[in-house]
Amino acid sequence: MDAKTNYKAKKIKAVFFDIDDTLRIKDTGYMPKSVKTAFAALKKKGILTGIASGRAPYGVVPEIRALEPDFLVTINGAYVFDNKGNSLYSDALPLEVIEKYVAWCQEVGIEYGFAGSEKAAVSKRAPLVDDALGPVYGECDADPEFYKENAVYHMWTFETAGDSLQLSKDLQKDVRLVRWHPNSSDVVKNGISKASGLGHVLDKVGLAPENVLVFGDGPNDMEIFDYAGLAVAMGNGVDELKAKADFVTKRVEEDGILYALEELGLVEKEVHFPQLDLEKTEGPVATIKTNHGDMTLKLFPEQAPKTVANFIALAKDGYYDGVIFHRVIKDFMIQGGDPTGTGMGGESIYGDKFEDEFSEELYNLRGALSMANAGPNTNGSQFFLVQNQAFPYSAKELERGGWPKEIAEAYTKGGTPHLDRRHTVFGHLVNQESFAVLDQIAAVETGSADKPVDDVIIESIVIAD
């Protein structure tokens, strides 16, 4: 996150979201649980929330309504209201423009549709029409003369022409095409957009564009990205929108909304400590089989993906088979993973040293599996297991030093906090039998350079994915 984006984030007092492929996946209806968490966190901080969508009010699905946004900018800005249903702005298309549009569609031979305030209608039911509108509005009535008795706020094309389709010059004076689907464009009144709709909200609440963060993914978000003070594009968004964004977040299904808000500092990061809840933590399990017994560990690919991938690949390839723990220091740690047995060797699967992966969720607690290194970003194949039980600090001292309260408390049972942010933690022992083997190895007699007098051998490392 660059300094300019961070500066913009400090001014944000309202956040507006597109719906389709931003808050939820249009084709499947999937919405991550983290979206609800994000809305609740924003509200708790007194930040206004809103929807800015091409959908009409009846297309705003129940799970989006349940988020209780403060304002809804719908139909691409033509229909704006608050969470109590009070209208802030509405702007229906003139009848003569609709009539010209219908005549043009009939002339070029394409189907068309209308978005009213309470329902949508189409000129004809056909697979091309249903494929586009179905995921948004379900099956719409076929009523080519809907506009004669209902206000229309925008219209649709249904065709296979794509961006090559151009309105007549006469129509271009009043409306424009905004592509939203491979087989459909919104037909929007000139001067009306999500940006203009958002402007009516800001006038109502007394905020400026620089106070607003917007999320989006598609071409109909272009104008609101230009208008708002801060713009975030979804990882699944179109390239031209990403080029306009201040920040590109992860995809919808990767909790992109919450991730961006956390990175921008608008909500507190949700931190989980998998080492404190190993039974509920998903991940591969590694069993280090030694001549002193087995040690079983849960690995953490979510927090340290590259490190875990390296360890697993080396283990499955037999790289560690027959390798010794070459450095053992009681009340500290046991270190191995170097085929030369000297502490000077070992290679990663990446062909060179690779970078550290420090996580706010992982710590060098007693039982932690961490990467040995020779300084920042020098990881190879060597690792160590934290064995220390004689903890010299109090939990309050660690809290004052910046460690989370839960971790500070866990450290009273042992660990090496001075190694945090210096060595990548990527696994943890899962049971007492494993800790007993760890302590037994730590107690062996050692000689020069803390090398055991009698070899402590890794017979194999077995991975259960």
Encoded tokens for 241 = 């929108």
> Within 270-420, where are the H helices?
305-316, 395-400, 405-410
Q: Which pTM does this prediction carry? A: 0.66
Contact between 3 and 224 (Cβ < 8 Å)? no
Asked whether residue 69 carries a pLDDT value surpassing 80, the answer given is yes
Q: Which of 324, 47, 94, 297 is nearest to 192 (CA)?
A: 94
CB environment 267-284: b (16+ within 10 A), e (fewer): beeeeebbbbebeebebb
Contact criterion met (CB below 8 Å) for 118 and 58: yes
Query: Which amino acid would we find at residue 4?
Result: K
Please name which of 336, 339, 340, 347 lies closest in space to residue 372, comparing C-alpha atoms: 336
| Distance, CA of 292 to CA of 414 (rounded, Å) | 22
What is the C-alpha to C-alpha distance for residues 246 and 264, in angstroms, rounded to an integer?
11
Is residue 393 scored above 90 in pLDDT? no
Confidence of residue 3 (pLDDT cuts 50, 70, 90): confident
Mean pLDDT of 416-437: 97
Q: Which residues are catalytic?
A: 18
Average pLDDT, the chain: 96
CA distance 390 to 178: 66
- Is residue 391 predicted with pLDDT exceeding 90? no
Residues 355, 268 contacting (CB under 8 angstroms): no
DSSP 354: B
Tell me the sheet residues that pair with 232. Answer: 215, 247
Residue 270 predicted with pLDDT over 80: no
Question: Residue 372's pLDDT is what?
Answer: 98
Q: Which whole number is the average pLDDT over 354-376?
A: 97
CA distances from 339 to 52, 381, 425 (A): 58, 9, 21
Task: Compute the distance between CA of residue 268 and CA of residue 38 in angstroms, rounded to an integer.
Answer: 10
- Give 102's contacts (C-beta < 8 A, 6+ positions apart): 112, 123, 144, 147
Confidence of residue 82 (pLDDT cuts 50, 70, 90): very high
Domains in the chain with CATH codes: 3-85+193-263 (3.40.50.1000), 95-188 (3.30.1240.10), 274-464 (2.40.100.10)
Strand (E) positions, 53-193? 71-74, 79-82, 87-90, 111-115, 120-122, 141-142, 154-158, 175-181, 184-189
Confidence tier at 422 by pLDDT (50, 70, 90): very high
